[in-house]
Amino acid sequence: MPPGAAFVDPTILAARSQVYRLLSWGFTVPTTGVLSELADQKIWDEILRATGKLPKEFIIKDDMTHLQKVASGIGPSKDSKDLGVAYTSLFGPADTERPPPYETEYGQPHVFSQAQALADISGFYIAFGLQLSQLVKERPDYLGTELEFMHILMQKEEYANSLGETDKAAICADAQRTFLDDHLGRWAPPFCATLGKSNSSGFYATLGRLTLKFIDGECKYLGLEPQKVSWTPSPMTLLEEEEIGCPADRCGAEGCG
């Protein structure tokens, strides 16, 4: 769809929405309910039919099929526990070696810049009548949260179009473009590229590769070129750890101890 196009193909919009929903599930804590959804063949049949109608910008068929195979093979006991361990390892508390799944950790050198970015992200949610779940208790800049927001925006656009409310549909479409260009499209690709290399055949590595290719397709389809940002461990974190663990008998600073 060229930028500013008046006509939106409802089939493509619905397919894009379903992929965003799938990706947000993948980055959700792997509870029994989530795993049940990811392993549901009827859901996958619907998603694969829909994504088969996506335009040429979306080169995701192989990774989508691979993710289905990996997800369908996750059993109710050991496999699901292993996935839970992997989730905690990859997306748990941030450390200085593993890129975090949080937007404001990328390209935000100052704490005030991070606070500004968080406020902007939260402002998008509030503008569309959304608030963070009190059950999950996740940050607004978490990858799964941002992916779900894009899915909801497309649902709202679909609904507005079904009522003939083209002005409201246009607002939702513009919000998708802005959020992708200013937020999701800037930091998610670098994170997912790293995640995709973490394990050549694992669920989360496949999810990372699929998310990377899908967001790339989204940007091409919408005519966007988000400015990518990178992640580097915060030197302040390392300094604080050193200060906290600094025994007086090893410290040569004047007046210390």
How do the pLDDT tens digits run along the chain, 257 residues long? 444 445 679 999 999 999 999 999 999 988 888 888 888 899 999 999 999 999 999 999 999 999 999 988 776 665 677 888 888 888 876 665 778 999 999 986 666 688 899 999 999 999 999 999 887 778 999 999 999 999 999 999 999 999 999 999 999 999 999 999 999 999 999 999 999 887 666 899 999 999 999 999 999 999 999 999 988 766 554 444 444 344 344 334 444 44
Domain count within the chain: 1
Distance CA 17, CA 22 (A): 9
Q: What separation in angstroms does the CA of 93 have from each of 67, 98, 112, 136, 178?
A: 25, 10, 21, 15, 29
pTM: 0.85
Find the domain containing 184 and state its range: 10-231
Block residue for tokens 């992997």: 86
Give a yes or no: residue 250 inside a domain: no
Block residue for tokens 């779900």: 148
- For residue 34, the domain's CATH number is 1.10.3480.10
Give a yes or no: residue 241 inside a domain: no
Give a yes or no: residue 246 inside a domain: no
